[in-house]
Amino acid sequence: MPISKFFPVIHLLDDAQGRREADKAFDAGADGVFFIHHRGDDTMAVRVAQEVKKAYPQWYVGINLLASGAVVAFERSIEAGLDAIWADSVGVSSEGLTPMGHELRKLHLVHPFVDIFAGVAFKYQPQDPNPTGTVYQLSDLGWIPCTSGAATGSAASVEKVATLGNASSQGLGLASGVTLDNVLDYCEHVTHFFVATSISLDDYTLDFEAMSAMAGRIHRSKA
């Protein structure tokens, strides 16, 4: 398995803060960043992400648009030249695709260069009784499943992560509860780590030292 990627998640306050935290993340050894605005200012999230991507074209930059949803996020990512979207719900379950899932699939077929990280057994979302089946569906689409613990900052069980990771041909993202103490427990099964709580000084300020340590631990785990 290739070396896992480390993506700090930047919770936006304003444009300057977003750019500053991205600079810090890249200096600390992150492989990319994702932007999210918890009060739903998706326009700001896209704008800052686009500015950061232009400043750092070699780095991976993505968005999670809480107010707009996956289809709009994908369309905005194309327009802004971004690398990926991450969405808790993409219209895919073990039973197949909803109309939203079909619309997103059509867009991705035309623009395959934008990656889709898709929530599976994800916090605060309706739970599919067959999450492994959802992973199979996502793998067939070429999308990357992304799971979490039960709540923000809560660690997912290693057994759950292993089961989903083993079912995926596209890798697996993990988006909650990752700390320096437990990250190595997941590295065998996870290809993309989305981290915020354990590498932050407060809601809007990333901790450079914690990010550097996390990046080193993740990157050395499969060296």
Give per-residue pLDDT as tens, 93-120. 999 999 999 999 999 999 999 999 999 9
For residue 2, pLDDT beyond 80:
no
- What confidence category does residue 1 fall into, taking pLDDT thresholds of 50, 70 and 90? low
Residue 222 pLDDT exceeds 80: no
81 conformational bin, left if phi > 0, alpha if psi -120 to 50, beta if neither: left
Full-model pTM: 0.96
Instruction: Report d(CA 223, CA 207) in Å as an integer.
Output: 25
Total number of domains constituting the chain: 1
Structural domain of 193: 5-220
Q: How far apart are the first and last CA of the chain?
A: 10
In sequence order, the β-bridge partners of residue 193 are: 6, 174
Domain CATH code at residue 128: 3.20.20.70
pLDDT tens-digit map of 159-214? 999 999 999 999 999 998 999 999 999 999 999 999 999 999 999 999 999 999 99
| Per-residue pLDDT at 55 | 96
pLDDT digits (tens, 9 = 90+) for 129-148: 899 999 999 999 999 999 99
Give dist(CA 221, CA 215) in Å, integer: 10
User: Token digits for 37?
Assistant: 């605005």
* Across 86-97, average pLDDT: 95
* Structure token pair of residue 31: 């492989």
Note the pLDDT of residue 151: 72
Question: Tell me: the pLDDT tens digits for 12-39?
Answer: 999 999 999 999 999 999 999 999 999 9
pLDDT of the residue at 223: 60
